[in-house]
Structures are given as C-alpha cells and as structure tokens.
Amino acid sequence: MGTDRELLAALKSGDEAAWEEAFRRLYPSAFAAARHPLASLTPSEAEDIAIEALTLLLPKINKVAGFDELRLLVITIASRKAISEKRRQLADKRGGGAVTSLDAMQDDETMRFEPAERLTARLSGSELRELSGLLEEALAALELRHAGMLRDFLVNHLSYKELAEKFQMPIGSVGVNLARSLEKVRAHLQTSPKLWKELNAFLR
C-alpha cells in the first residue's frame, strides 16, 4: 500500500488487504491503550479489548480524514473499553456493584475509574493529539529526574515509598517534588485555554 492517503481511500472502499495492513499498523497502539495502567488488565484481556477496538474502527472509517486519526481513535476506544472492563470486573466481584449506604458508595473502589471513563469517553482524537503534545513539552521542560518521577507516579503508579527508593530521596521529599512538577505541567496545559476549559468541563 502506498501513502497513508491511498491506504485510507482503500479502507473506505472496503479493500480487505488494506484493512489487514491497517490492523497490523494499529494493533501495537490498540494493545498498549488496552493495557492502560488504570485498568491493569492481563495481556490476554488486553488483546481481546484491542481486537474489539480495531473492529470498532470499521463504522467510523468514513468520518476520518487521515490515517493518523485512526490511531488516536483506536487508542481512545481501547482505553475506554479497558477501563470500563476493569470497573465491571470489580463491580462483579463486589456483587454486581450493589451498594447499601453512602459510605459504602464512597468506599467503592470502582468510583476511582469515573474520571478516566468520563475523559476517555469525551476526548476527541484531535484533543488527544493536542494534549499529548502539551504533555510531551511539559515533561521535557522538567528536570530529567523530576520528569521520570512524575511519569513513574502517573503512568507506572509507583507509590511514594517506591519512588523514594527508586530516586533515592527521603519519602517526605517525594510529595513536594511531585506537587511542584504537577503544578508546572498544569501551568503548561493552561497555555491552551480552550483545551483546558474542555478538560475541566469533562472532569468536574
């Protein structure tokens, strides 16, 4: 298959070889998104989610203007599905998610997936692209050590104790470092007021 444009045209016409090529190209992103740390699904569960996300691209193909949009689309679909799947699994474990009191509801650990579910459900491909760019710039502007620590905290979900050990610092300093780095990242995200407003609207 030639250019991305040609590939996209072939996909729209239902060319099976083109779809196979697209699936091969998009699968790594779909799988990585399905292994979202918030969902922490097993590789086999993530594979199922990734395949499902790829098939969900089919009805959306005519709304896509470029091949790169498909990658962003499959990432948002796979992330959302993975997080929802994890929430469903936890709810099942707790007896179908039935809660009996407000305290129980507040303690419900499935609640922690809510912001991520809301964000992945509403974040468009172009917003994800812009957000990714801003995040990359913000992390690049941090000291390497602080950027690494923030990434380990956010992406790898390391605890304060683990971070203190990994970065060889007193546990009391971990919070300070993370808080300052987060403030800097937030300041950078706010350089795009429109996107920041959207994110606030999604997550409030």
Partner 1 sequence: MDTDSFTKLALRVLANEATEGDHRSLKAELTLNPERREEYEQLRITHDVLRTAAPMADAALAREPELPAYRLNELRSAVRQHFKAEVLRDKETSSARSLKLFLRWLLAGGGVTALAAVVIFLCVANRSIEVGLYQTDQVRSEGASIEPGDVPSAKLIMFDQDTPFDQWQSQPLAWYEHAKIWVDNDHDLLHIVRRVNHGQIIMETRPLAQTNDGQRDQIKQVVESLQSQ
Give contact residues for partner 1 (rule: CB under 8 A).
14, 16, 19-20, 23-24, 27-33, 36-38, 47, 51, 54-55, 58-59, 71-72, 75-76, 78-79, 115-116, 119-120, 123, 128, 131-132, 135-136, 150-151, 153-155, 159-160, 175-176, 178-179, 182-183, 185-186, 189, 199-200, 203-204
Question: Rounded to whole angstroms, what are the CA distances from 127 to 73, 98, 133, 192?
Answer: 11, 35, 10, 11
Of 63 and 96, the one with the shorter C-beta distance to partner 1 is: 63
User: Could you tell me where the DSSP H helices lie in 94-169?
Assistant: 102-107, 114-122, 125-141, 144-154, 160-166
Of 36 and 87, the one with the shorter C-beta distance to partner 1 is: 36
Query: How far apart, in whole angstroms, are the C-alpha atoms of residue 6 and residue 15?
Result: 11
Give the nearest distance from C-beta 7 to partner 1 in angstroms. Answer: 14
Give the nearest distance from C-beta 80 to partner 1 in angstroms. Answer: 10
| Residues 189/138, Cβ–Cβ less than 8 Å | yes
Of 79 and 110, the one with the shorter C-beta distance to partner 1 is: 79
Of 7 and 178, the one with the shorter C-beta distance to partner 1 is: 178
Query: How far apart, in whole angstroms, are the C-alpha atoms of residue 153 and residue 158?
Result: 5
41 — phi, psi (to 5°)? -80, 160
